[in-house]
Structures are given as C-alpha cells and as structure tokens.
Amino acid sequence: MHAISPVQSGIRLVGFDADDTLWRSEDYFAAAQSEFERIVGAYVDLDDARARQRLLAIERGNLALFGYGVKGMALSMIEAAVEITAQRIGAAELHRIVGIAKDMLRHPVEVLPGVREAVEAVAAEHDIVLITKGDLFHQEAKVRQSGLADLFGRIEIVSEKDASTYHRVLDEFDLPASRFCMVGNSLRSDIAPVLRLGAWAVHVPYHLTWEHEREAEIDPAMRARMREVDGLHGLPAAIRDLDAQAAGDAARAAAG
C-alpha cells in the first residue's frame, strides 16, 4: 500500500538561452562595431566624438522601437553615423553599414563546443525549452541551422526577456518558478529576472558581452539559487547540484 505519492519537487523544466550560450553571436556584433568605427573614424576623431558611447545610447533608445537583433543594430548604426559626422557621412558608407548587417544575417551558425552533449544530458533528466530574443526571422533561421531544434520540446522566440516574459512561459507550462532553471550568458536577460521570480539559474559567461546585457542587480540573497560554470560541459553537474538544493527546499517547506 503506497498511499504516499512522490513529492513533486526539484527542477522539472530547464530553459536555455541561445545567443552566446548555444552558439556564437556577440563576436559578430563586436566585429560590426569595429567596422562601424573604421567607417565613422574617416570623418571624426572617435574619442573626441565619443562615437562608441553615442552609438550605444542610440541603440538603447531604439530598442523599444526596433527590438533586439541585427536589423535594429544596422538602423541604429546608420542613425549614429549621420549624427556623429554631422550629416557628412556618404551614401557609399551607409551602404557598407547595410552590407555589414547582411553579412551577419548570412553568417553560418557556429554552435559552441560541447553544446549538443550538454543539452542531451540535461534533456535526459528534465524537460527543456529554448528561450531566445531578437529578430524572429533571424532567430528561426539560426535554430534551424544549428541542428539543435530536435532536442527542444518547445522554442520560444520573444521580444524581451524580463520577469513578465518568464512568468508567461511558466504559466504556459503550468509550473511554479521553484521548479524552473534558466541557463544563459546574460545576467540581465537570463539570470536576474528568473532569480527574482524564485527560480534557479546557471550563468555561463561568454568572453564577450554587450554592455547593455551586463547590467543587472542581483541581490546577494538570491545568489544561493544560482551557479556559474565556465562552459556548457559543466552544466549537467551544476543542474544536479541545484536540483538537490531545490528538492531539499521543497522537503523543508513540506515539513513546515
């Protein structure tokens, strides 16, 4: 007679970020930024003109209109080039900026080392979902080309990764935050919002991070629910560790 059903505890669903977690992305944005500076640098002294800061400010100001991704970046670069050069930038240079964006959109997807093995290992024990933001068109193409789409039960391409987005995803899975863990490179988009909801997180820092994505307030008390690994090879162990902690928390809560 086993009247006691197993306690529903521990991590059930693991969410994966895509750009700079599963495949390279920021490297191309950094190269585009250097190319932009070469173009604008023919007109102005980059430091005197505060070219980098002004481009970042314009990109941030446009996020609410263009969203994330290559196309929004290109429009912001054109706007910044016009402003920084006081409208002296030539049509040929603006055409080069459009060319940078097209090259980025055509660039083959480079899946990071060990990703497939790590995702398969996690998927053997948990449900997994891909949660990525950016241009819908570009993200769909990258998911397709990556060869990883078959591993994920669900793929969510969203316009912003904040607490309300994660809340909606968890609602769709009918799952409390305490049973969800997010994996990603961005403290701002992948880690801070899920910790705030009471979920778990594994931070996988990438060697390059856009300034905008580095800014995040993480309460020291919330850090107990996150781990940091230096590559996806460390992910299965980190999730097992958090899973045990989650199950322990649930058991303590059940015991009152």
What is the number of residues in the chain?
256
Scanning 19-27, 146-154, 167-175, 228-236 for contacts with Mg ion by CB under 5 A, the matching segment is 19-27
Tell me, what amino acid is at 67? G
Burial of 73 (0-12, 13-18, 19+ CB in 10 A): buried
Report the candidate in 20, 47, 36, 44 with the shortest Cα–Cα distance to residue 74.
Answer: 36
Determine the Cα–Cα distance for residues 247 and 173; give it in Å rounded to an integer.
19
Between 126 and 203, whose beta carbon lies closer to Mg ion? 203
Between 59 and 93, whose beta carbon lies closer to Mg ion? 59
Residue from the set 17, 59, 127, 135 that interacts with Mg ion by CB under 5 A = 17
Scanning 3-11, 43-51, 118-126, 179-187 for contacts with Mg ion by CB under 5 A, the matching segment is 179-187
Widest pairwise Cα distance in the chain? 83
Count the helix, strand and coil residues of the chain and give each as a percent rounded to the nearest 5: 55, 10, 30
- Least separation in angstroms between residue 94's CB and Mg ion is 29
Determine the Cα–Cα distance for residues 229 and 241; give it in Å rounded to an integer.
12
Determine the Cα–Cα distance for residues 238 and 256; give it in Å rounded to an integer.
27
Residue from the set 12, 13, 16, 20 that interacts with Mg ion by CB under 5 A = 20
Between 146 and 185, whose beta carbon lies closer to Mg ion? 185
**Distance between alpha carbon 110 and the CA centroid of its chain, in Å?**
16
Scanning 13-21, 104-112, 117-125, 232-240 for contacts with Mg ion by CB under 5 A, the matching segment is 13-21
Count of H-run helices and E-run strands, the chain: 10, 6
Scanning 17-25, 76-84, 98-106, 144-152 for contacts with Mg ion by CB under 5 A, the matching segment is 17-25
Full DSSP string of 137-167? HHHHHHHHHHT-GGG-SEEEEES--SHHHHH
- Least separation in angstroms between residue 230's CB and Mg ion is 16
- Least separation in angstroms between residue 166's CB and Mg ion is 15
Which of the residues 183 through 212 are near Mg ion (CB under 5 A)? 185-186
Scanning 51-59, 73-81, 120-128, 182-190 for contacts with Mg ion by CB under 5 A, the matching segment is 182-190
Report the candidate in 184, 241, 187 with the shortest Cα–Cα distance to residue 213.
Answer: 187
- Least separation in angstroms between residue 19's CB and Mg ion is 4
Residue from the set 19, 59, 93, 243 that interacts with Mg ion by CB under 5 A = 19
Between 19 and 135, whose beta carbon lies closer to Mg ion? 19
The contact set with Mg ion (CB under 5 A) reads: 17, 19-20, 185-186
